[in-house]
Amino acid sequence: MLQFLSELLVTAAAEGLWHGFVRVARGGTAHSQGSPYDWKNDPVYKKNLQRLIERNRRFEETRE
């Protein structure tokens, strides 16, 4: 069992190194954004923010 775990650890480390190598070979831009994220103009952010504002308003109204 100890041999199996050590082989598993070596295999996982090798896969991690391989993925790192591939990412560097591609320029490291596979999961990064080219420019800073403009969260203020994100429609999902705006929708969630409006939903939170409305929920808070209703909560405050029920507390009074």
In this predicted model, what pLDDT tens digit does every residue of 3-55 receive, in sequence order? 776 776 677 777 776 666 666 667 655 556 667 888 888 999 999 999 999 99
> What CA–CA distance (Å, rounded) separates 41 from 54?
19
Which pTM value belongs to this model? 0.42
Q: Residue 21 has what pLDDT?
A: 61
Kindly indicate the confidence band of residue 61, based on its pLDDT and cuts at 50, 70 and 90. Answer: very high
Buried b / exposed e along 16-44 (16+ C-beta atoms within 10 A): eeeeeeeeeeeeeeeeeeeeeeeeeeeee
Question: Residue 21's domain spans which residues?
Answer: 2-28+37-63
- The torsion angles phi and psi of 42, rounded to 5 degrees, stand at -80, 120
Q: Residue 59 has what pLDDT?
A: 94
Total domains, the chain? 1
CB atoms within 10 A of CB 6: 10
Encoded tokens for 53: 């504002």
